[in-house]
Every structure is written in structure tokens, then in C-alpha cells.
Amino acid sequence: MDASCRLGIVGGGSVGISFLAQLVGHLENDGNSASNTPACHITLFEPAEKIGHGTAYQHDLNTNLLNVPAGNMSLYDKHRSHFVQWLAAQPEALLQSYGIRNIDPAAFYPRPLFGRYVHEQFDRIVAQAAALGIQVQVVRNAVVAITRHAAGQGQAYEPGQGQEAQSQFQLTDLAGANYIVDQLVLCNGNLASDKFDALVPCAGFMNSPYPVSALSQTIVADATVAILGTNLSAIDAVVALKAHAHGGQIHCFSRQGVLPAVRSVHPTHIPCRLSRSDVHAMALAKGGRLGLDDGVQMLREQMLAIDPGFDIRDIEGGSADAATLLDHELQAACSGPRPWQAVLAAANEVIDLLWFYLDQPARRQFQSRWRSRWMSRRAMFPVQNARQLQCLIEAGQLHIHGGFQACEALADRQGFVLHSRDAAGALQQQVCDVVINATGFSQDVRQSADPLVTQLLQSGLARASEYGGFELDFDTGCLVSANGTIANDITVLGSLACGTYFWTVSMDVNARLANNQAMRLAGKLCQQRLAQVTGVPEGADAATQV
């Protein structure tokens, strides 16, 4: 690597900025001063107008709420209250514009407000980096191709010619401009849904509900709307339609017909959290691999330690219709703590490790049989939005359908017909004017039309994980190439790391993974800087060189 490291960060959403913030922080702390800080030039590639927003935190309606309490939302893994402290420093008028009168770390604030926080932090991080002599350049274009080259040469790099440290990457953006970097971090963000590609060209079909503020501009007030999905994105769409006083019928369809769990408004103290050493120890005792029952037992013991009378049925949610279950969820969420929710949220500290130790049969069983149920219980939503859905159901305007089979465009006129089966197995049909795909983003890189994802797979720089996203080395987050080698100079964070780390939809998990990568890279750069200053070769024992 050259004396000055050229780092490329592909993606300037919340995860990319979390990595950048923590990298600069580590370089500042490890270097102690600008004169000792490793020379580094950082290029951030982000085509969106606002740095740090991404899809999740873009400017939108305040009805899009965080699904994690504000006190656990932060760019910094080791500073969990950073967002709340930023809130406390904001003008009262700004907070009131987001519906906030009193700052509460346990509250679920609008997602656009968190996007504003990330965006403002970016400017501060760039200034912090500049004070250390680190330049941060922003390229307002998407990267569409990445090619590895031998260092300082124009020819393409061939695996086996030498170590990755002796090579560079050429990044090509959408405008055809090329950039050379030595180290890469991919924070691409979420892939577009690929579940209903045949419907994308049809009038009246929306392949994403976001931004939900645009729904009222596209959908007439009395239209019958079908929403594909019943999880968090579908709830955002329903609540947004209600906020715009939509008068037509709303039908949500999914295979299970189950709404997510409602998060309790009562905090739960966890006396002893499951630690990473606990997971390591259990895996070691089991011969290095865990089954699904082992993971469930660890979590169950945590729940019973909080509440010996804990009822497992509260996790399962029951088998009643969606309206009845929602009533039960709201009552449970408002009447007292729900220990299982606190334990599952706290398990974010070890969730990637539990997934890592699961044996192959257990992972496949989870993917095929339990993933959908897990998502509906783990991806909880706050009481205020649950009440909105309850009102719409009681008014006869919102309908939740299970047994979803298919959605077809009507050939003779504009509109769609939705096919589903009721609880008795009878086939049902519902004609709708508009269809909103709220099934969430895709995790299958093999089906993605994203040009960069496609190019990485076709070039052999990356290979798909069986469980979603790219295959990565667990310990480092480094990309695994098609021939199985680990690229030590290219790492992945965010949704495309889901196959390796499983739960990469939560900011606290992504901040922790970003911090781990930032700390490793900062240590590597500081070692190289020390070698340049002392003349001691990198990796050598300095004591033996004196």
C-alpha cells in the first residue's frame, strides 16, 4: 500500500457514515496527533442528495417511526446515547416540528429525524478528519463496477499473482469516471424487491411504499388499495394513508396474515445479559456447533431469570385472526413489561454469533420454517402506530388477509386482482385499483438487477451467500471471492452482510460491526505509519530490531 492510503466507501447512508465516524475517531485516538495520524484520503460514493439518509431515514412523514428506542440509536457503538444527546442540543421549535415535546430515551421518534442527525454528523466528521489531515471527498454518483488491478499498473489483477495488499481497485461510476483506491468498504444499502418484477411496468403498481409522503399524490382518495406484506413497511404505508385521510378500502395481504408484535411501553430490566463469552462457551461445550434448540434454550433461560412465571405463549402470539391478535398485542403492550421483547432486543449483542455457530441443518430449517414467524415477532412496532391500525380495522376500512397466493394485473381495465385463501382453505379474490409492494427489500444478490452487485458476482470478486447478501469472512467482514479466497482489502457492511451476521437491519448491530471494521483498519494504518516513522518493517517485533 502506498504511504497515503486511499479508502473508498461505497454508500453514504447511515451505515457508511457510522463506519466513517468511527474510523476517524479511532485514527484520532490511535494517532494522538495530526502529525502521527496515518496519511489517508477517503472517497465516499453516494448519489443521493442527502448524505446519511438512505431509504430508511430519508425525508418523509413523521409517521415513519423508529423501531428501536432513541436511547439505542447512535452512529457510535460505544456511545449509545449520542443521538439522544444530539436531540437535547436541538432548538425546541425543531423538535416540535417532529412532534417532540419532551426528550425520552425510551421513545420511538420519527425516522426522518434520525436521518437529519446522521446528515449533520457527517459535516462534523469531515471537519474532524480535516483537522487530522485526512481529506474526505464525496462523489455524487453511484459506483457500477469494481475491478482489481496490480498496484501501479493498468492490467487486471489475476488471483494467485500476489497478495491483495499489492493490488488496487478501480471504481467506475455511472458517469464513466474512474477512481483508484487501495481499500474498499461496501455499504451499498438495501436492494430493491424482486418479488413482483412482472408487475413493475403496470399502471397503479408501486414497487415500494417509500417515500410514503408521495402516496397521496399518486393514489386517489377513494381508491381501493392493496398492500403486499403485513410487516413494518406495510404498517408505514397504512399509517401514511390514514394521515392523508385516505377514504378507500385498504387490504393487506401476506402468507401468514400476521401483524408484527407490539412493543411494550413498560421498560424491562435485564439483570444478566447474554454475553459473547456465554455463546462461545456453549458452542465449545457442544463441539463447536449449536442447534436451534440450543439457541432457544439460552434465550428462554434469560426470560425466566427476569420473570419465573413467563408464559411462552406471549412470544408465539397465538393463531387468532389479525384483528383479535392486534387487540391482544395492544393490551399486553400497555398492561405491563414483556420480558421476551427485552431479551430479544438485548440479544442484538450476540445475534451474529448465535447465527455463526448454528450448524447448516439448523440454519436451513430456520430459513424455511421459522424466518417469517421470527420477523413478525422480533421486528416489533410501537404502540402509537398499532392504535392507528386498530382504529382503521374497527372502522371497517382496513382488512388483513392471510393465505396470499398471487397478484395479477387485470387485462380488460386498470386494476389488479389479489388471490388468497381463507382460514378454511377457500379461494378468495379481491379487486383493487392500486397495489403497493411492501414486502421489504431483497436479500438475494443472485436475483438483483443492481449493476454493481451483478458485476461483482460476474467478475468473481464476490459470491452469494446461501442465506442472503454476499459471503463474508465472519471475523473480519472481508469479501469471499468466487474461488474461496478472502479479500483482506474489501469489506461489506449493512444489508448485504445479512447472510454472515443475520440481523443487519438494526442500527445498533450495524454500528457495532462498523466499529469492529473501523478499529481493524485504523490499527492497520497506524502500524504502517509507525513502520514509516521508525523504519521497522510492518509486523516485525520492534524489540528485536533495536
**417 within a domain of the structure (yes/no):** yes
What per-residue confidence (pLDDT) applies to 396? 97
Q: Of the residues 398, 416, 437, which one is the last residue of a structural domain?
A: 437
What per-residue confidence (pLDDT) applies to 34? 53
The tens digit of pLDDT for each residue in 220-259 reads 999 999 999 999 999 999 999 999 999 999 999 999 999 9
Answer yes or no: do 493 and 517 share one domain: yes
What per-residue confidence (pLDDT) applies to 544? 27
Higher pLDDT, 43 or 316: 43
Answer yes or no: do 25 and 86 share one domain: yes
Q: Among 115-129, 333-347, 517-531, where is mean pLDDT lowest?
A: 517-531
pLDDT above 60 for 33? no
Mean pLDDT of 469-485: 97
**Whole-prediction pTM:** 0.92
Domain count, the chain: 3
What per-residue confidence (pLDDT) applies to 535? 60
Query: Of the candidates 204, 243, 230, 250, which has an alpha carbon nearest to the alpha carbon of residue 416?
Result: 204
Answer yes or no: do 306 and 187 share one domain: no
Burial 506-524, CB ≥16 within 10 A → b, else e: bbbbbbbbbbbbbbbbbeb
pLDDT above 50 for 60? yes
**135 within a domain of the structure (yes/no):** yes
Answer yes or no: do 48 and 157 share one domain: yes
Answer yes or no: do 392 and 348 share one domain: no
CATH number at residue 111: 3.50.50.60
Longest alpha-carbon distance in the chain: 85
Q: Among 309-323, 395-409, 475-489, 512-526, where is mean pLDDT lowest?
A: 309-323
Q: Give DSSP secondary structure letters for 324-336.
A: HHHHHHHHHHHHS
Answer yes or no: do 351 and 480 share one domain: no
pLDDT above 70 for 166? no
The tens digit of pLDDT for each residue in 67-100 reads 889 999 999 999 999 999 999 999 999 999 999 9
**270 within a domain of the structure (yes/no):** no
How far apart, in whole angstroms, are the C-alpha atoms of residue 76 and residue 200?
38
Query: Where does the pLDDT of residue 35 fall: very low under 50, low under 70, confident under 90, or very high at 90 and above?
Result: low
Rg (CA), the chain: 24
Q: Of the residues 437, 452, 483, which one is the last residue of a structural domain?
A: 437
Cα–Cα distances (Å) from 425 to 399, 408, 432, 464, in that order, read 18, 20, 22, 37
What per-residue confidence (pLDDT) applies to 446? 95
Query: Where does the pLDDT of residue 541 fall: very low under 50, low under 70, confident under 90, or very high at 90 and above?
Result: very low
Query: Where does the pLDDT of residue 545 fall: very low under 50, low under 70, confident under 90, or very high at 90 and above?
Result: very low
The tens digit of pLDDT for each residue in 184-215 reads 999 998 998 989 999 999 999 999 999 999 99
The tens digit of pLDDT for each residue in 121-135 reads 999 999 999 999 999
**DSSP state, 472?**
B
pLDDT above 80 for 529? no
**405 within a domain of the structure (yes/no):** yes
Mean pLDDT of 12-34: 88
Mean pLDDT of 128-153: 90
What per-residue confidence (pLDDT) applies to 125? 97
How far apart, in whole angstroms, are the C-alpha atoms of residue 61 and residue 78?
30
What per-residue confidence (pLDDT) applies to 539? 52
> Do 440 and 233 meet the contact criterion of CB atoms below 8 Å apart?
yes
Answer yes or no: do 372 and 391 share one domain: no
How far apart, in whole angstroms, are the C-alpha atoms of residue 77 and residue 390?
36
Answer yes or no: do 187 and 86 share one domain: yes
For residue 311, the enclosing domain spans 276-378
What per-residue confidence (pLDDT) applies to 152? 58
> Do 381 and 107 meet the contact criterion of CB atoms below 8 Å apart?
no
> Do 226 and 405 meet the contact criterion of CB atoms below 8 Å apart?
no
pLDDT above 90 for 24? yes
What per-residue confidence (pLDDT) applies to 156? 45
Answer yes or no: do 176 and 212 share one domain: no
